[in-house]
Amino acid sequence: MIKHTTKLTSRSIEQGGMPSDYKKAIAEYIWNGFDAGATRINIDFSGNSVGYLSHFSISDNGSGIDIETIDSTFGNFLDSMKVDSYLSDSFIKGKKGKGRFAFSIFANKCVWNTTFRTPEAGLLEYSISINKGDQQNFTIEDRRISANTTTGTKVQFLHFFDLTSDLLEKKEFVEYLASEFGWFLYLNREKEYAIYINGTSLDYSPIISEQQSFSHVIDEYTFTISYIRWARLIGDKFYFYFLNSGKQEISRKHTSFNNNTVEFFHSVYIESSYFDNFRETQTDAPVMAFAEKNQADLVFRHLLKFLNTYVFQKEKQFVKDTQAVRLISNYHTAGIFPKFQDKQNDLSRKEDLELVVKELYCVQPKIFQGLKKEQSKTLVGFLNLLLASEQREQVLEVLEGVVKLTDEERSELTEVLKKTKLLK
């Protein structure tokens, strides 16, 4: 047995931004497996009828933990060898070296049994253990030639507190894993990446609210585009993921719609042979190599323009069909809309006000968000008075005093005000 000591104390580790609950802590170990090149993660646990957790482990078929670099992996905190690799591999999640300590929020001990490959001796295996109260120290033992046929790591958690088997069986836990990893599993679906919970594959399809796949041609290149709108906030930002013909992610770029205020959770995956010779550079200057392309290439710029237009239309339709409808319903339920009589004129005014509020929300949702009930009633009441008068066009002036409208937004609202006037 070999004992290694870091320059940190257990207290400093616990104050270094550990996950806030067991779900996030478990996700750290799953990401560590994928970071190690795993395609399959197994979550296995057992307990009794009252929730006592007798066994809990997470295993993967990744590359294992090389014992020669152990002091650069387990010996570092808030620093990691993965930081350097992150620039060339956007999959890497564990850049801070904190994930291995996440067990401390629900278990008193953690043991890694890992198998890795060496050029000289083939497959070797050994174990690493850390105790919650002594996290600055970790021990290595049982180093030997492995009888295993593949590399991988199994993490065993021992001596539990604040974690029971029923928590791992809950729908909430499965839904969390689906939202945290669904986008990544879909990204690697043709490579058969999977997470298994007690032998059952994690199904992320229930959190897909909308999905569309189609092809788009620019010059001689065909781009296969898959759009997904998720029902829940996902474990990544909202990206365009660019894949080559080998299904490998070559680049990613934020969509222009990373505003979570309207719950437009989305991912867009673009696959094409165009990316076989694509390399993103630090600057947008064209590359000199004839065979290579970067983000300055005209085809890529046209592709981005098309994608942004497409996602913009998807967001607009989602806000109009879902969020704006929900807003109108909530306003009626909360008594924010004024009371209208069942007379034809009042019904027309009601329809007029609803349509304008709906369109205003579609153009600029922030106007209606974060308001207290009385503030919302004041805003809607003011709009109602303007719409009932000859000063309807002042709605635009009032709005532009709050937010900056684009020419397109101003034109759309002008048309709405003209149309709704005809309803009177």
The band of 36, judged by pLDDT with boundaries at 50, 70 and 90, is: very high
Per-residue pLDDT at 258 exceeds 70: no
The least confident of 112-116, 166-170, 256-260, 409-413 is 256-260
Calpha distance 10→29 (Å, rounded): 19
What confidence score (pLDDT) does residue 234 get? Answer: 96
Per-residue pLDDT at 107 exceeds 90: yes
The least confident of 58-62, 185-189, 300-304, 360-364 is 360-364
Give residue-wise pLDDT tens across range 314-342.
998 999 899 999 999 999 999 999 888 77
Q: Answer for the pair 38, 60: CB distance below 8 angstroms, yes or no.
A: yes
* Region at 51 (left for phi over 0; alpha for psi -120 to 50; beta for the rest): left
Phi, psi (degrees; rounded to nearest 5) at 208: -90, 115
Calpha distance 98→18 (Å, rounded): 7
Phi, psi (degrees; rounded to nearest 5) at 197: -110, 110
What one-character-per-residue DSSP string does 388-421 give? Answer: HSS-TTHHHHHHHTTSPPPHHHHHHHHHHHHHHH
What confidence score (pLDDT) does residue 351 get? Answer: 86
Helix (H) or strand (E) holding 221: strand 221-230
Per-residue pLDDT at 6 exceeds 80: no
Calpha distance 202→235 (Å, rounded): 15
Per-residue pLDDT at 174 exceeds 50: yes
Burial 190-208 (b: 16+ CB within 10 A, else e): eeebbbebeeeebebeebe
> Which are the contacts of 288, defined by CB distance < 8 A and separation ≥ 6?
none
Residues linked to residue 126 through DSSP beta bridges, in sequence order: 114
Most confident among 3-17, 56-70, 344-358, 402-416 (mean pLDDT): 56-70
Going by DSSP bridges, is the β-strand pair 107-118/53-60 parallel, antiparallel, or unpaired? unpaired
Q: Answer for the pair 217, 250: CB distance below 8 angstroms, yes or no.
A: no
Calpha distance 332→247 (Å, rounded): 48
Calpha distance 248→240 (Å, rounded): 14
Per-residue pLDDT at 1 exceeds 80: no
The least confident of 195-204, 237-246, 296-305, 364-373 is 364-373
CA proximity to 102, closest of 26, 6, 9, 16:
26
What confidence score (pLDDT) does residue 196 get? Answer: 98
Most confident among 139-143, 236-240, 385-389 (mean pLDDT): 236-240
For the entire predicted model, the pTM comes to 0.83
Per-residue pLDDT at 256 exceeds 70: yes
* Other beta carbons less than 10 A from residue 293's beta carbon: 20
Three-state SS sequence of 45-89: EEECCCCCEEEEEEEECCCCCCHHHHHHHCCCCCCCCHHHHHCCC
Per-residue pLDDT at 274 exceeds 50: yes
Per the model's pLDDT, the better-predicted residue between 10 and 362 turns out to be 362
What confidence score (pLDDT) does residue 420 get? Answer: 58
Q: Is 269 exposed, middle or buried (0-12, 13-18, 19+ CB in 10 A)?
A: buried
Which pair of structure tokens corresponds to residue 70? Answer: 């152990």
What confidence score (pLDDT) does residue 75 get? Answer: 57
Calpha distance 97→81 (Å, rounded): 8
Q: Is 180 exposed, middle or buried (0-12, 13-18, 19+ CB in 10 A)?
A: buried
What percentage of the chain's residues is helix, strand, coil (to nearest 5)? Answer: 40, 25, 35
List the domains of the chain with CATH numbers. Answer: 2-169 (3.30.565.10), 204-314 (3.30.230), 334-422 (no CATH)
Calpha distance 91→261 (Å, rounded): 26
Q: Which residue has the tokens 């507190």?
A: 161
Per-residue pLDDT at 424 exceeds 50: no
Per-residue pLDDT at 4 exceeds 70: no
Q: Is 283 exposed, middle or buried (0-12, 13-18, 19+ CB in 10 A)?
A: exposed
Q: Any idea how long the chain is?
A: 424
The band of 98, judged by pLDDT with boundaries at 50, 70 and 90, is: low
Helices marked H in 188-242: none
